Amino acid sequence: MPSKYRALAAVVTTVLLWASAFVVIRVLGEELSPGSLAFARLVVGTVALALVALRHRRPLPRGRALAFVLGYGVLWFAGYTVVLNWAERHLDAGTAALLVNVAPILVAVVAGVLFREGFPRPVMIGMLVAFTGVLVIAVGGGGGGVVDTLGIGLGLVSAVLYAAGVLMQKVALRSVDAVTATWVGCAAGLVATLPFAPQAVVELSHASAGSIAGVVFLGIGPTAIAFTTWAYALARTDAGRMAATTLCVPGIAVLVSWVTLGEMPTALGLLGGALCLTGVAISRRKPRVVEPVPAQVADEPCESAA
């Protein structure tokens, strides 16, 4: 399979798993507190990633690269996960996904300046269309969801942590492979959530089998697999275009919550989801390269009269 199709498959895998995570987190929030859920998820994710990393046996990052990996691990794996879990105790899954996906806008702007990725027209147009879809979903609502001021604030904090994590990860991936970067980052997040370990042990001992299965799914799917496929694709494209792709997550999250939780999306919600997908498709297009027009060959000089 050509590299560009492998990267596309990685992006699709990431988006689908991350969209489903919003719904699973919403369900698990009824039995597990934000910190406990984050710790348990990262335990599963770290173990799964360690098994893969041992098979590949890649060198561990050092120096500046290690600092960036640890930084995004604490911000994204730990901070973002805890705050998002907390937010979804106050927000329905669709609204949480909407607020978190303010992050791609932040990533595209910062990456355009700091990483000199510029502002390609397809990415900017695609993000505008996709973000319009996000706003349409916000206006239309997800159907029967719960929203309060604290939840909105937490959702926006999650977006900032997400954006900071992506930008730090982009720098780390210049010298660290995707599997190692994801594994070490996840382990750093696990260490940061160790204070929640005692509470997690107590809550998990009383949790239902379905909740434990949900934690395992979050650790293996949206964490171990999705973060690895994300890192793989991010290392092969610019941060702005990758971030724009995740703008379709809210639309998918709304549909999944409709099917699984019975949160019926409105007509505007469905329209917004379609706009998100359209915007992402536009952002993935490469700018058209205009071929230079060859210079006309000068007419040969006329021979002088005899």
Residue 298 has pLDDT above 70, yes or no: no
**pLDDT value, residue 222:** 94
Q: Could you tell me which residue, 306 or 234, shows the higher pLDDT?
A: 234
What CA–CA distance (Å, rounded) separates 60 from 171? 16
Alpha helices per DSSP H over 141-245:
149-172, 178-192, 197-206, 209-218, 226-234, 239-245
Q: Could you tell me which residue, 199 or 133, shows the higher pLDDT?
A: 199
Residue type (1 letter), 168:
M
* Number of alpha helices (DSSP H) and beta strands (DSSP E) in the chain: 15, 0
Residue 303 has pLDDT above 50, yes or no: no
Q: Which of 50-59, 95-104, 115-124, 211-220 has the highest mean pLDDT?
A: 211-220
Q: Could you tell me which residue, 52 or 122, shows the higher pLDDT?
A: 52
C-alpha distance from residue 247 to each of 11, 33, 139, 224, 256 (Å):
12, 27, 16, 21, 15
Tens digits of residue pLDDT in 70-86: 999 999 999 999 999 99
**pLDDT value, residue 304:** 37
Residue 146 has pLDDT above 70, yes or no: no
**pLDDT value, residue 163:** 87
Mean pLDDT taken over the chain: 81
What CA–CA distance (Å, rounded) separates 222 from 228? 9
**pLDDT value, residue 301:** 46
Per-residue pLDDT, averaged over 130-158, amounts to 71
**pLDDT value, residue 35:** 96
Per-residue pLDDT, averaged over 182-189, amounts to 94
Q: Could you tell me which residue, 306 or 69, shows the higher pLDDT?
A: 69
**pLDDT value, residue 225:** 94
**pLDDT value, residue 131:** 75
Taken as a whole, the chain contains a residue count of 306
Q: CB of 243 within 8 A of CB of 101?
A: no
Confidence label for 302 from pLDDT (cuts 50, 70 and 90): very low
Q: CB of 161 within 8 A of CB of 102?
A: no
pTM for the full model?
0.77
Q: Which of 40-54, 151-165, 166-180, 236-250 has the highest mean pLDDT?
A: 40-54
Confidence label for 1 from pLDDT (cuts 50, 70 and 90): low
Per-residue pLDDT, averaged over 30-55, amounts to 94
**pLDDT value, residue 49:** 92
Q: Could you tell me which residue, 148 or 188, shows the higher pLDDT?
A: 188
